[in-house]
Amino acid sequence: MQSDGWKQVFPAPAEERRRPGALRFASKGIRDEPDMPLPFLQLKSAILRAVDITVNAGADTSPSSSPSGAGFRNHDEPIPGLDGRTVGDFWRWAYSDVLSNRNRSIFAEYIIGVALGVLDKPRVEWDAVDLRYGGFKIEVKSSAYCQSWFQKKPSTIRFSIRKAVFWNLETGTYEGEATRSADIYVFCVHAEKDKSKISVLDVLTWEFYVVPAEILNREFARGKSLSLAAVRRVAVRCRWDGLKAAVDGVLESRVQAAAEVTPK
């Protein structure tokens, strides 16, 4: 939904310390304030009801389907009240543009999860890290030269490594100080520069760079973002078919390094 006044409804960024699931309105200076005009409040209420009906229709309300333990949905699951529409219809409408920044980033998490064999549960939007593998925490960062919008030239590859205070799903609170909570980072680049040849779904068009968080903390302690050149200087580079071996190798080296500095 997009117009002059209202751009879109989306979850607030974690760094703003808002509760997960709380919606905010991005617009021309319009915020959810007590003195907002009644028409705006009515519009907000209608939108929130529509979002709740669309997202939660048909949801299993048993304890096992809580936000932290929801199971996988089926693509042919009907959406009550929408005349034969299914969850698959919603997915096609919402996620067909895999090139868009958010969808591309989630797809990057997915193909890494496939490589590591850790997709036994649905993705958790507000988790402190993106993936968990053998007791280790993995943060995934994605970037691309081609975007879904018009470009005069390819984008410059850059990754955020900003420290953050993370939301604890179990306690419902933000905890600790701003930090990089993952054990390793996997930086992902969709390397195609010719938009006419773009195929985000082709894993062979991706490059991956694996680096332990200790190196980021040592080399870029106060850094908020990294160029691709900086990532290449400190990371192990691989393609998708070598990703698991690269991750295992970095984790093994990390464990060995920790053992060497541990007092005996």
Alpha helices in 205-242 (DSSP H): 213-219, 228-234
CA 114 to each of CA 72, 107, 130, 187, 241: distance values in angstroms, whole numbers, following the listed order:
16, 10, 13, 16, 11
| Side chain identity, residue 18 | R
pLDDT digits over 99-154, tens only? Answer: 999 999 999 999 999 999 999 999 988 888 999 999 999 999 999 999 999 999 99
Q: What pLDDT is recorded for position 174?
A: 86
pLDDT digits over 174-220, tens only? Answer: 888 899 989 999 999 999 999 999 999 999 999 999 999 999 999 99
- Model pTM? 0.72
Q: How far apart are CA 207 and CA 189, in angstroms?
A: 5
Identify which of 104, 133, 137, 129 has the alpha carbon closest to the alpha carbon of residue 119. Answer: 133
